Amino acid sequence: MKFNDIIKITQNECVACISLMYELPCQIDEDIYEYLKDFGRLLYSFKSIRLLHIRSSDSFEIEGKLGNNKIKFVIPKKFQNQKISEDKKLYFETLLSKWITKKLNMEVGL
């Protein structure tokens, strides 16, 4: 199954960032952090407040809520149209597809 066939992506922009919202075919659970933890630092205790908020060293962010089927990838505006933003997006989508593959027990490729 292809990533873009099962995940709807919408984009919004403000003066500070570009936000990509991914509508997933499943709900976010605690296991997702194991797949995303190499992306960056967890800002809050995911288990206690049920909010996933990861920030990379260069300020890219991942946000989601336990039990919800949406996850957001935030690109700082200063990286708009730069290779780093596409690389980080691809890395995030690769990690996300691995989690979805495990969660749904079906191969999800980019």
> 32-36, 95-99, 103-107: which range is least confident on average?
103-107
Please give the pLDDT value at position 67. Answer: 93
Residue 110: the pLDDT is 77
- Token pair, residue 74, equals 């935030």
Binned at pLDDT 50, 70 and 90, residue 107 comes out as confident
Q: How far apart are CA 77 and CA 94, in angstroms?
A: 22
pLDDT digits (tens, 9 = 90+) for 96-105: 999 999 998 8
Q: How many helices and strands (H and E) does the chain possess?
A: 4, 6
Closest residue by Cα to residue 32 from 107, 110, 96: 96
CA atoms of 48 and 45, how far apart (whole Å): 6
Confidence band for 48, pLDDT divided at 50, 70 and 90? confident
Query: pLDDT at position 66, please?
Result: 92
Q: How confident is the model at residue 41 (pLDDT cuts 50, 70, 90)?
A: confident
pLDDT of 28 over the 90 cut: yes
Assign domain 3-104 to a CATH class.
alpha beta
